Amino acid sequence: MSGETDLKTLLESLHPVVRDGDYVYALWPHGRPLSGGIEAAVREAEGLTVVLPRDEADSLGLSYDFVAAWITLQVHSALEAVGLTAAVSAALTHAGISCNVLAGFHHDHLLVSSADAARAMDVLRLLARGVVLRTERPEDRPEILELTARAFSVSPVTGEPVAGTPLEVELLRSLFDCPEYLPQFSIVAEMGGEIVGHAISTRGWIGDLELLGLGPIGVLPHFQKRGVGSALMRETAARATAAGEPGIALLGSPLYYPRFGYVPATSVGVQPPEPVWGDRFQLLTLPGWPDDVRGTFRYAAPFNEL
């Protein structure tokens, strides 16, 4: 069966699957007969590079640095297909994920850092729908504000239509212009040139400790419950971790956000700005979280004007 060459069809049919286990690149010792569960090999003038399961490399005494998850794109792409590798690489690059590509006769295979495997799968699933995550640009703001108005046209608290402009729109407009705005934490999900989702995190504090306050996060109504919001949540956490942020606070449903690792803030010694928020005020602690944090969270100044 001949492979697919149409890029749109290829992207819509990616069906990424993660193999079990971790994989590594290793330089095979010169003159040593091949053995073990080698999955791929590339011969260069400098020697033979092999890709194999980490356990196999350990048992063979091979050294390695990069530990990867192996993702197979299940679509049968033709070797002469144009644009698939570029589209996949660009989407992962926007998400800050390093990717090594191996092309087989039937499928393309991606080796990404094991720590990035879940996020890479999010990015690829969205790409199959034509959605790419990237940092917000100033010229995006009118479209983001319109998206936010549509996303919050029905109150997430009451379930009733909102009269007039949702307060999240004016909050977001103020956040874009406040000193606590952090450009790298204003993230959009884009499809076919249209912004379909947006999440923003701004500077917050517990005493002198700096961390992030997440929100608002909005997704166009007809894209809700399709993974866009979840991808924005995970992308925010990944960027915060990479930047050394100690944690992220948010106000939201205690039935929804725990799936992303959030817990009631009071359970880690942090009080909400308004006591009536109770367990709806939640916190995600990241690797840099200090053990002795106690105090009340303070949002960026525009939140105080609500």
Q: Please say which residue of 75, 106, 128 terminates a domain.
A: 128
| pLDDT confidence of residue 154 | 82
pLDDT at 64 over 80: yes
Distance CA 2, CA 46 (A): 35
Is residue 81 domain-shared with residue 152, that is, in the same domain? Answer: no
Residue 9 has pLDDT above 80, yes or no: no
Q: What is the pLDDT of residue 164?
A: 84
Q: How much of the chain is in helix, strand and coil states, percent to nearest 5?
A: 35, 35, 35
* 278 shares a domain with 146: yes
Residues 220 and 295 in one domain: yes
Do both 205 and 181 map to the same domain? Answer: yes
Q: What integer pLDDT is reported at residue 80 of this predicted model?
A: 63
Question: Is 60 exceeded by the pLDDT of residue 283?
Answer: yes
- Predicted pLDDT of residue 6: 65
CATH number at residue 37: 3.30.2130.10
Residue 79: the pLDDT is 60
Query: Which residue, 110, 128, 146, sits at the end of a domain?
Result: 128
For residue 1, being part of any structural domain is answered with no
Q: 119 pLDDT band (50/70/90 cuts)?
A: confident
User: In this predicted model, what pLDDT tens digit does every residue of 48-58 receive, in sequence order?
Assistant: 999 999 999 99
What percent of the chain has a predicted confidence (pLDDT) above 90?
66
> Is 153 found in the same domain as 97?
no
Domain of residue 110: give its range.
7-128
**Whether the Cβ atoms of residue 193 and residue 148 lie closer than 8 Å to each other:** no
Residues 174, 176, 181, 185: is their CA dihedral positive or negative?
Answer: positive
Residue 2: inside a domain: no
* Residue matched to tokens 């525009």: 302
Mean pLDDT of the chain: 90
State residue 131's pLDDT score.
81
Q: Which of 84-88, 134-138, 187-191, 199-203 has the lowest mean pLDDT?
A: 84-88
94 and 164 housed in the same domain = no
Residue 203 lies in a domain: yes
Same domain, 20 and 89: yes
State mean pLDDT over 82-89.
79
* The pLDDT value given to residue 4: 62
Q: Please determine, for residue 1, whether its predicted confidence score (pLDDT) is greater than 60.
A: no
Residues 119 and 180 in one domain: no
- Give per-residue pLDDT as tens, 132-155: 889 999 999 999 999 999 999 987
Domain count, the chain: 2
Q: What is the pLDDT of residue 247?
A: 98
Predicted confidence (pLDDT) at residue 17 exceeds the cutoff of 70: yes
Q: How far apart are alpha carbons 63 and 26 in whole angstroms? A: 6
Side-chain half-sphere of 132: how many Cα atoms within 13 Å?
Answer: 18
The pLDDT score that the predictor gives to residue 305 is 85
Q: Which H or E element spans position 235? A: helix 228-242
CATH number of the domain to which 200 belongs: 3.40.630.30
| Omega within 30 of 0 (cis) for the link into 216 | yes
Residue 28: inside a domain, yes or no? Answer: yes
Percent of the chain with pLDDT over 70: 94
pLDDT bracket for residue 111 (50, 70, 90): very high
Say whether both 143 and 289 belong to one domain.
Answer: yes
